[in-house]
Structure formats: structure tokens, C-alpha cells
Amino acid sequence: MMTPSDVKATLSFSDGSASMELPIYKGTVGPDVIDIRKLYGQTGKFTYDPGFLSTASCNSTITYIDGDKGELLYRGYPIEQLAEQCDYLDTCYLLLYGDLPNADERGTFHKRVLNHTMVNEQMQFFLRGFRRDAHPMAVMTGLVGALSAFYHDSTDINNPEHREIAAIRLIAKMPTLVAMSYKYGIGQPYMYPRNDLSYAGNFLRMMFATPCEDYKVNPVIERALDRIFILHADHEQNASTSTVRLCGSSGTNPFAAIAAGVACLWGPAHGGANEACLNMLEDIQKMGGVAKVGEFMEQVKDKNSGVRLMGFGHRVYKNYDPRAKLMRETCHEVLNELGLHDDPLFKLAMALEKIALEDDYFVARKLYPNVDFYSGIVQRAIGIPVQLFTAIFALARTVGWIAQLNEMIADPEYKIGRPRQLFVGAATRNVKPLAER
């Protein structure tokens, strides 16, 4: 809840125009906000904050990050406890409805989601329109957007029942769609979901079974994948979530708004970083591996090279990303289980991390490993192709997008998102006849 603070901010101008008092609100934790909603009306001025470095775009009860402490809470629960004691569907319930389910609620919710895993049979014909070598995120952007064409009965964003069923459908069908886009790419038949398996187990089977040979779910890998899903489930007002909110604020249907989130997530500065990070590790490995780490780091530190250490740095975390710590642990577990503890990419990642954590360049800028630094190694060990990493991130983040979208729509104060601008282009001018231009 936004609580008015006793303190007020005063905005004054050096040209003698009247100063303005601005209210301040307090959240439960985290920085206070200065309420500038009346600023334009009273002063005729906008604020300027490209990249939203200092701007809270909404108030929210879902996820809290303390970037300095390296803390991530979903509805108040530390990510470490959720990763240890809950599964992904419990986390989905928590994000959507505000608290962890009791035993009955858990059973009902799990059953409900797992009953919606199948997609309209027509969807496979839609997929056929894509090239086999299309990037899975290109396919996913199309497939998720297309859901609104298949599920007409849940497209009214202003109807709470439609929002609820769209939420369940999206969470349930994302693994099916990601697995279908993978199977299509490698030319194998699609595997229908099996609802007696867990959410992660079902996804693994849809990915790796064929009609000729079933896939036996390994519990260590199932748990690791489930943990990847939990760690990616939400991350407050990041670029893709803000995209979903902005897109949904026009009243468009939930499937279209989530498709916008998928498109945004694809970028290498956001969800595409896990793919970019693994490609980077493979490139260094080809250059000569651990022996070349020093040389690579020199390139990273050279501003003219355009090279970044992918999987490092974060807009909010100025400390070790708590998700990266958990992912590192999972990485050990999976590599041990699969007998890959000598995996050269993992060794390389640890060597890079060690150097970066001691190097002045990274220390001074507070650049630490983020979740993507180790998640790629885990996924690769499981057998997931690098190109699919961001689609898996999208699968997991879908619940966060929906929870945030539903929170916005249910807020009586919500308005269409419409940023302002500082216009620095040409002022009014007249079109000259063609011969004079």
C-alpha cells in the first residue's frame, strides 16, 4: 500500500516561477517515491528520465528486489526459500493470488494447470508456416500472439474470468508451445503432453521423447529445470514486464500483451543474455579456453571493442544476483548427476567469474554474475539447445507477466500508459515544391 509520508518535496525554479510542493509516498520497503502526477498541470513541465533510471512506473505488491543487498522476494518470500521448499506451480500460485497455496488449493491448482496443457490441434498447421531453421523466439512470438486467434472465449482483458482462464491457459500451454517449436526445428513429431507428470517433467518428456522411444524423467534434472523456472518467474518492472503492462494498458487481449513481452525478452540485454553468454563461453573455448581468459577480459574492459561480459551486470543488482548463487549450486548438482563435473565450459565460467570478481573494472562498477551466467550451462547439460534458452526463460516468466498485467488491470487507478517526450526536432516548417528541395 502507498502510504503518504510526512515529508514533502519542494521543487523550485531559478527563474523565480512559483515553487511546487510534491507529495512523497512510502512503500513497505525500498525507496520512497515523489509523486509528480500533477507536475505538468501545475508547471507545464515534464520530467525527463530515459531508461526509467529514477522512475517508478507503478505501485506493485508482487516482487521486491533490493539490488544492494542482492535480495529477491516474491510476495515477501525470499527466493532462496521458494527455490528450496516450493515448486514452480506453487510459485505461480503465489505470484498470481498473493500467497502460497494450502494442500487443497495446491492440489486443485496443479490439476487445473495440468488439464490445460494441450493446444488446439490447428496450432501445428500454424507452425508449419515457419521455416524449420527459424529462431525459436521468432516462432514463440508468433505462437503466443496466435493464441488469441484460438481462444476467443478468454480475450476480454476487462473481464476477471477471462483474465483468470487466459492466465491458466498461458501457464499450461507455454511448455507445449516451446517443445513444439523445438520439435518442429529438428523435424521430429510433436509429443502430446502427459498430465500425470509434473510441470517440468512433462516439458522434458515433450522435448526429448519420440513416438519410438519414451523419455524417463531424471528427478535431479526435473528439479533443476523446475528451479530454473522458479528463478525466472518474475523480476518486477524489467523491460519485458513493463512492455506487457504498457501493451495491456491499451486494453488489448492478454495473449497479445504476453506476445509483446516475449518479443521484448528476446533482446541480448535482457532474456537473450543466456544464449549470448553460452555463445561467448563457446567462443572463448575455441580461442583456447581458460588460458585466453585474460586476453578476453582486456577486450571486455576496452570500451572501443564493444565486447561485454555476458551474464554479468544488472540494472538493479549491485551485488551478487541471488538467482545466480542458486543457479551455480544447481549447475554443480546437474553436472555431478550427469558425470560432467569436468565440463570445460563450467570451468571456464568459474575462471571468468573469479577474475571478474577481483578485477577493479568490475569491482568499481559493481558488476556481478547475473542469473544467465550459469543457467546456460545447466540447460546445455540437460540437452537443451542454446537457441532455445530464451524461449525457456519466456515460458518461466509468463506467470510474472500475467500477474503484473492482472494487477495493473485490476487497479482502479490504471490508465493507458503514455510517456511524454522532450521534442528536439524541427519546429514547424513548410513543405517546399519537389524542385526546390
Exactly one of 308, 333, 343, 351 binds ligand CMC (CB under 6 A); that residue is 308
Q: Is 283 in the site for ligand CMC (CB under 6 A)?
A: no
Exactly one of 26, 116, 162, 315 binds ligand CMC (CB under 6 A); that residue is 315
**Cβ(71)–Cβ(65) below 8 Å:** yes
183/270 with CB nearer ligand CMC = 270
Q: Which of 314, 321, 332, 343 is catalytic?
A: 314
- Residues from 351 through 390 that contact ligand CMC (CB under 6 A): 365, 367, 370-372
Stretch that binds ligand CMC, among 54-62, 76-84, 303-311, 405-413 (CB under 6 A): 303-311
Cβ 150 to ligand CMC shortest distance, Å: 29
Count of beta carbons in the 10 Å neighbourhood of residue 274: 29
Exactly one of 312, 346, 374, 401 binds ligand CMC (CB under 6 A); that residue is 312
Stretch that binds ligand CMC, among 22-30, 131-139, 269-277, 326-334 (CB under 6 A): 269-277
For strands 63-66 and 71-74, give the pairing.
Answer: antiparallel
Stretch that binds ligand CMC, among 24-32, 86-94, 270-278, 283-291 (CB under 6 A): 270-278
DSSP 154: G
* 3-state secondary structure (DSSP) of residue 259: helix
Q: Phi-psi bin for 129: left (phi > 0), alpha (psi -120 to 50), beta?
A: alpha
Three cell numbers at 141?
512470438
Exactly one of 201, 271, 322, 376 binds ligand CMC (CB under 6 A); that residue is 271
Helices 389-410 & 273-287, crossing angle to 10 degrees? 160
**Cβ(403)–Cβ(234) below 8 Å:** yes
Q: Is 235 in the site for ligand CMC (CB under 6 A)?
A: yes
Q: What distances in angstroms separate CA 360 from CA 141, 305, 364, one per listed residue?
A: 40, 18, 6
26/308 with CB nearer ligand CMC = 308
> Which candidate, 313, 296, 314, places its Cα nearest to that of 305?
296
The HSE-up count of residue 333 (CA atoms within 13 Å, CB side) is 17
> Which candidate, 65, 71, 62, 1, places its Cα nearest to that of 33?
1
- Window 156-185: contact mask with ligand CMC (x via CB under 6 A): ------------------------------
Radius of gyration of the CA atoms of the chain, in A: 24
Amino acid at 69: K
Query: Active site includes 162?
Result: no
Exactly one of 223, 314, 325, 328 binds ligand CMC (CB under 6 A); that residue is 314
Cβ 231 to ligand CMC shortest distance, Å: 10
Query: Active site includes 372?
Result: yes
Binding residues for ligand CMC (CB under 6 A): 235, 238, 269-271, 273, 300, 308-315, 365, 367, 370-372
